[in-house]
Amino acid sequence: MRDLQAAPGTPLNGAPSGPPGRPRRVGLLLAVAAFVLVADIVSKAIVVARMPDHPPIRLLGGLLTITYTRNGGAAFSIGTSMTIVFTAIALGVIVYILRAARNLRSIGWAITLGLLLGGATGNLIDRIFRAPGAFQGHVIDWIELPHWPVFNLADSAIVCAGVLVVLLALLGIRLDGTRGVQGDSDKPAAPVGR
Protein backbone atom coordinates (compact mmCIF):
# COMPACT_ATOMS: atom_id res chain seq x y z
CA MET A 1 0.00 0.00 0.00
CA ARG A 2 2.82 2.44 0.79
CA ASP A 3 4.35 1.87 -2.65
CA LEU A 4 1.18 3.21 -4.27
CA GLN A 5 1.15 6.48 -2.36
CA ALA A 6 1.78 9.56 -4.47
CA ALA A 7 4.81 11.70 -3.83
CA PRO A 8 4.15 14.70 -1.60
CA GLY A 9 2.54 17.51 -3.57
CA THR A 10 1.46 15.23 -6.43
CA PRO A 11 -2.26 15.27 -7.16
CA LEU A 12 -4.01 11.96 -6.51
CA ASN A 13 -5.45 11.88 -10.04
CA GLY A 14 -1.92 11.74 -11.51
CA ALA A 15 -2.19 15.08 -13.35
CA PRO A 16 0.84 17.34 -13.05
CA SER A 17 0.27 20.33 -10.83
CA GLY A 18 3.04 22.51 -12.26
CA PRO A 19 6.06 23.85 -10.42
CA PRO A 20 5.54 23.92 -6.66
CA GLY A 21 4.75 27.35 -5.30
CA ARG A 22 3.77 28.82 -8.67
CA PRO A 23 0.19 30.04 -8.70
CA ARG A 24 -1.93 29.68 -11.78
CA ARG A 25 -2.14 32.86 -13.85
CA VAL A 26 -5.63 32.38 -15.30
CA GLY A 27 -6.90 35.51 -13.53
CA LEU A 28 -4.20 37.63 -15.18
CA LEU A 29 -4.97 36.09 -18.59
CA LEU A 30 -8.69 36.86 -18.19
CA ALA A 31 -8.02 40.40 -16.92
CA VAL A 32 -5.80 41.22 -19.92
CA ALA A 33 -8.33 39.67 -22.31
CA ALA A 34 -11.21 41.63 -20.72
CA PHE A 35 -9.26 44.90 -20.95
CA VAL A 36 -8.45 44.33 -24.65
CA LEU A 37 -12.03 43.27 -25.41
CA VAL A 38 -13.63 46.26 -23.68
CA ALA A 39 -11.18 48.71 -25.29
CA ASP A 40 -11.86 47.16 -28.71
CA ILE A 41 -15.65 47.16 -28.36
CA VAL A 42 -15.80 50.73 -27.01
CA SER A 43 -13.44 52.11 -29.67
CA LYS A 44 -15.39 50.41 -32.49
CA ALA A 45 -18.70 51.67 -31.08
CA ILE A 46 -17.38 55.26 -31.05
CA VAL A 47 -16.05 54.95 -34.61
CA VAL A 48 -19.31 53.42 -35.91
CA ALA A 49 -21.35 56.16 -34.20
CA ARG A 50 -19.19 59.14 -35.25
CA MET A 51 -17.18 58.32 -38.38
CA PRO A 52 -19.49 57.02 -41.17
CA ASP A 53 -20.32 60.54 -42.42
CA HIS A 54 -17.10 62.14 -41.22
CA PRO A 55 -13.92 62.56 -43.26
CA PRO A 56 -10.80 60.82 -41.87
CA ILE A 57 -9.17 62.65 -38.96
CA ARG A 58 -5.43 63.23 -39.37
CA LEU A 59 -3.40 63.38 -36.17
CA LEU A 60 0.28 63.90 -35.40
CA GLY A 61 0.98 65.49 -38.76
CA GLY A 62 -0.50 62.55 -40.65
CA LEU A 63 1.40 59.89 -38.72
CA LEU A 64 -1.94 58.57 -37.43
CA THR A 65 -5.29 58.81 -39.19
CA ILE A 66 -8.63 57.81 -37.71
CA THR A 67 -10.86 56.48 -40.45
CA TYR A 68 -13.74 54.03 -40.83
CA THR A 69 -13.57 50.85 -42.89
CA ARG A 70 -15.23 47.46 -42.85
CA ASN A 71 -13.03 44.43 -43.50
CA GLY A 72 -14.56 41.14 -44.64
CA GLY A 73 -11.19 39.38 -44.79
CA ALA A 74 -8.25 38.74 -42.54
CA ALA A 75 -5.35 41.08 -41.86
CA PHE A 76 -4.60 43.38 -44.78
CA SER A 77 -8.03 42.50 -46.25
CA ILE A 78 -6.75 39.13 -47.49
CA GLY A 79 -9.42 36.50 -48.19
CA THR A 80 -12.50 38.70 -48.20
CA SER A 81 -14.64 35.80 -49.46
CA MET A 82 -13.55 33.49 -46.62
CA THR A 83 -15.20 35.18 -43.63
CA ILE A 84 -16.65 31.89 -42.35
CA VAL A 85 -13.17 30.32 -42.34
CA PHE A 86 -11.76 33.20 -40.28
CA THR A 87 -14.67 32.86 -37.85
CA ALA A 88 -13.89 29.16 -37.39
CA ILE A 89 -10.18 29.89 -36.89
CA ALA A 90 -10.97 32.52 -34.24
CA LEU A 91 -13.23 30.05 -32.41
CA GLY A 92 -10.45 27.44 -32.52
CA VAL A 93 -7.91 29.90 -31.11
CA ILE A 94 -10.24 30.84 -28.26
CA VAL A 95 -10.92 27.18 -27.37
CA TYR A 96 -7.19 26.38 -27.48
CA ILE A 97 -6.30 29.28 -25.16
CA LEU A 98 -8.97 28.33 -22.65
CA ARG A 99 -7.74 24.72 -22.63
CA ALA A 100 -4.08 25.77 -22.31
CA ALA A 101 -4.95 28.02 -19.36
CA ARG A 102 -5.18 24.94 -17.11
CA ASN A 103 -1.37 24.72 -17.06
CA LEU A 104 -0.67 28.45 -17.12
CA ARG A 105 1.77 29.60 -14.45
CA SER A 106 3.90 32.07 -16.41
CA ILE A 107 3.17 35.79 -16.16
CA GLY A 108 4.60 36.36 -19.64
CA TRP A 109 2.41 33.68 -21.19
CA ALA A 110 -0.64 34.93 -19.25
CA ILE A 111 -0.22 38.40 -20.75
CA THR A 112 0.49 36.96 -24.20
CA LEU A 113 -2.50 34.63 -24.24
CA GLY A 114 -4.68 37.36 -22.72
CA LEU A 115 -3.80 39.70 -25.59
CA LEU A 116 -4.51 36.95 -28.11
CA LEU A 117 -7.79 35.93 -26.44
CA GLY A 118 -9.04 39.52 -26.19
CA GLY A 119 -8.08 40.32 -29.78
CA ALA A 120 -9.54 37.14 -31.24
CA THR A 121 -12.76 37.61 -29.27
CA GLY A 122 -13.08 41.27 -30.31
CA ASN A 123 -12.86 40.45 -34.00
CA LEU A 124 -15.03 37.33 -33.57
CA ILE A 125 -17.82 39.48 -32.10
CA ASP A 126 -17.73 41.61 -35.26
CA ARG A 127 -17.84 38.48 -37.44
CA ILE A 128 -20.84 37.11 -35.56
CA PHE A 129 -22.96 40.23 -35.10
CA ARG A 130 -22.14 42.76 -37.82
CA ALA A 131 -23.47 43.06 -41.36
CA PRO A 132 -23.80 41.44 -43.84
CA GLY A 133 -24.92 38.53 -41.63
CA ALA A 134 -24.26 36.19 -38.73
CA PHE A 135 -20.81 34.57 -38.86
CA GLN A 136 -20.07 36.56 -42.03
CA GLY A 137 -19.83 40.05 -40.53
CA HIS A 138 -17.17 42.53 -41.48
CA VAL A 139 -14.68 43.68 -38.85
CA ILE A 140 -14.55 47.41 -38.06
CA ASP A 141 -11.09 48.85 -38.69
CA TRP A 142 -10.23 52.45 -37.86
CA ILE A 143 -6.50 53.02 -37.20
CA GLU A 144 -4.40 54.00 -40.19
CA LEU A 145 -0.65 54.53 -40.31
CA PRO A 146 1.30 55.69 -43.38
CA HIS A 147 1.93 52.86 -45.86
CA TRP A 148 0.06 50.36 -43.68
CA PRO A 149 -3.44 48.84 -43.98
CA VAL A 150 -6.18 50.05 -41.64
CA PHE A 151 -6.52 48.00 -38.42
CA ASN A 152 -8.16 48.07 -34.97
CA LEU A 153 -7.20 47.52 -31.32
CA ALA A 154 -7.98 43.78 -31.51
CA ASP A 155 -5.56 43.45 -34.42
CA SER A 156 -2.92 45.35 -32.44
CA ALA A 157 -3.34 43.00 -29.47
CA ILE A 158 -3.00 39.95 -31.74
CA VAL A 159 0.20 41.32 -33.31
CA CYS A 160 1.67 42.16 -29.88
CA ALA A 161 0.82 38.62 -28.74
CA GLY A 162 2.61 37.21 -31.79
CA VAL A 163 5.76 39.17 -30.96
CA LEU A 164 5.60 37.99 -27.34
CA VAL A 165 5.15 34.35 -28.43
CA VAL A 166 8.40 34.59 -30.40
CA LEU A 167 10.24 36.21 -27.48
CA LEU A 168 8.98 33.66 -24.95
CA ALA A 169 9.87 30.81 -27.29
CA LEU A 170 13.38 32.21 -27.84
CA LEU A 171 13.83 32.47 -24.08
CA GLY A 172 12.55 28.91 -23.66
CA ILE A 173 9.84 29.89 -21.21
CA ARG A 174 7.00 27.38 -21.04
CA LEU A 175 3.36 27.85 -20.09
CA ASP A 176 4.01 26.35 -16.66
CA GLY A 177 6.66 28.99 -15.92
CA THR A 178 9.67 26.72 -16.32
CA ARG A 179 12.50 27.27 -18.75
CA GLY A 180 13.50 24.49 -21.10
CA VAL A 181 17.09 23.32 -20.94
CA GLN A 182 18.50 23.71 -24.44
CA GLY A 183 20.38 20.79 -25.96
CA ASP A 184 19.21 18.12 -23.49
CA SER A 185 15.55 17.20 -23.58
CA ASP A 186 16.03 14.35 -21.04
CA LYS A 187 16.85 16.70 -18.18
CA PRO A 188 14.03 18.32 -16.19
CA ALA A 189 13.20 21.92 -16.95
CA ALA A 190 14.77 24.60 -14.80
CA PRO A 191 12.37 26.93 -12.96
CA VAL A 192 12.23 30.55 -14.06
CA GLY A 193 12.30 33.40 -11.55
CA ARG A 194 8.99 35.06 -10.81
Give 27-70 pLDDT, tens digit per residue. Answer: 999 999 999 999 999 999 999 999 988 999 999 998 999 999 99
Catalytic residue among 3, 40, 53, 141: 141
Q: Which of 129, 139, 119 is nearest to 79 (CA)?
A: 139
Question: Is 40 one of the catalytic residues?
Answer: no
Asked whether the predicted pLDDT for residue 12 surpasses 60, the reply is: no
The residues, ordered by sequence, that sit 6+ positions from 158 with a Cβ below 8 Å of its Cβ are 115, 116, 119, 120, 123
Q: For the purposes of burial, counting CB atoms within 10 Å of the CB of 172, is it exposed (0-12), middle (13-18) or buried (19 or more)?
A: middle
Residue-wise pLDDT for 75-123, tens only, equals 555 656 666 777 788 889 999 999 999 899 999 999 999 999 999 999 9
Q: Could you tell me if 20 and 9 are in contact, meaning their C-beta atoms sit under 8 angstroms apart?
A: yes
Query: Pick the residue with more confidence: 160 or 11?
Result: 160
pLDDT of residue 7: 47
d(CA 130, CA 6): 53
Catalytic residue among 155, 176, 184, 186: 155
End-to-end alpha carbon distance in the chain: 38
Residue-wise pLDDT for 153-177, tens only, equals 999 999 999 999 999 999 999 999 9
Question: Is 176 one of the catalytic residues?
Answer: no
pLDDT of residue 23: 84
